[in-house]
Amino acid sequence: MNAPETSPDLRIFHIQNGLVISETGQQDADDFAADFQGLRHFADRVGATLELGASLYASMHEPAFTFMYLLPPDSSAQVRSASGAMINANVSNNELLVTLRQENG
């Protein structure tokens, strides 16, 4: 069975030195950056509330859209590198997480 990265809707993003790297255009990169910053902000707030520390990864689900980001284990407050994915479907957390981890090797 192929990994879900063969889906034409799946868009993978990488953040290197604070810049979003995308193969699908500026609009997608802007959308990814906005969702990444927003979701990471609220995930870190949840972590601070429960004294769990900073987030490692997080996902957001809509009826026809899923977003996920994955940070390296040693990431600091200022993210230098990260990866993420957006897909126009409501896919499972496990599937997207496995895909991102495969992307990161």
Partner 1 sequence: MATAITPSLRASLERLKHAGAVNGLCLCWRRQVLVSLMPYEDFRVEQLVHNFNDARDHFQSNGGRSIDALWMAFMDVHALCVYSGDCALIALHTRPEESDFIAGVARTFLNDTQLLVAAALGPMNDQSASGDEGSWLPQAPRIDPNKTNVIP
Binding-site ranges for partner 1 (CB under 8 A): 35, 38-39, 42-43, 45-47, 49-50, 52-63, 65, 90, 92-94, 97
Residue 105 is inside which H or E element, if any? none
The nearer residue to partner 1, 30 or 62, going by C-beta atoms, is 62
Neighbours of 37 (CB within 10 A): 12
- Is the dihedral angle over the CA atoms 83, 105, 103, 95 positive or is it negative? negative
The CB-of-99 to partner 1 minimum distance in angstroms stands at 14
Closer to partner 1 at the Cβ: 10 or 19? 10
The minimum distance between CB 91 and partner 1, in angstroms, equals: 9
Question: Using an 8 Å Cβ cutoff, are 33 and 21 in contact?
Answer: no
Choice between 37 and 81, CB closer to partner 1: 37
Contact 5, 86 (CB under 8 A): no
